[in-house]
Amino acid sequence: MNNIFSTVKSFYHKLGSFPWFYKFSSKFIPIVFILGFPIFFLGIIWGIYFSPTDVTQGEIYRIIYLHVPAASVAQTVYFAMAIAGFVYVVWKMKMAGLFIYAMAPIGASFTILALISGAIWGQPTWGTWWIWDARLTSTLVLLLFYLVIIGLYSSFDNKKSADQAVSILTMVGAINLPIIKKSVDWWNTLHQPATIKVFSESSIANEMLYPLLICIFSFYILVFLFGLMAMRAEIAKRELNKSWFKNLVLGND
pLDDT bracket for residue 10 (50, 70, 90): confident
Whole-structure pTM value: 0.93
Q: Over pLDDT 90: what percentage of the chain? A: 70
Q: What pLDDT does residue 13 have?
A: 76
**135-192 pLDDT, tens digit each:** 999 999 999 999 999 999 989 988 899 999 999 999 999 999 999 998 887 777 777 7
Assess whether pLDDT exceeds 60 at residue 253. Answer: no
Q: What long-range pairs does 138-144 form, CB within 8 A, spacing at least 24?
A: 138/176, 138/179, 138/180, 138/183, 139/71, 139/74, 139/111, 139/114, 139/115, 139/180, 140/115, 141/176, 142/74, 142/75, 142/78, 142/111, 142/173, 142/176, 142/177, 142/180, 143/108, 143/111, 143/112, 143/115
- Who's near 152: CB < 8 A, 6+ residues apart? 162, 165, 166, 169
Q: What pLDDT does residue 198 have?
A: 62
**28-72 pLDDT, tens digit each:** 899 999 999 999 999 999 999 999 999 888 999 999 999 999 999
**189-224 pLDDT, tens digit each:** 777 777 776 656 777 889 999 999 999 999 999 999
**77-95 pLDDT, tens digit each:** 999 999 999 999 999 999 9
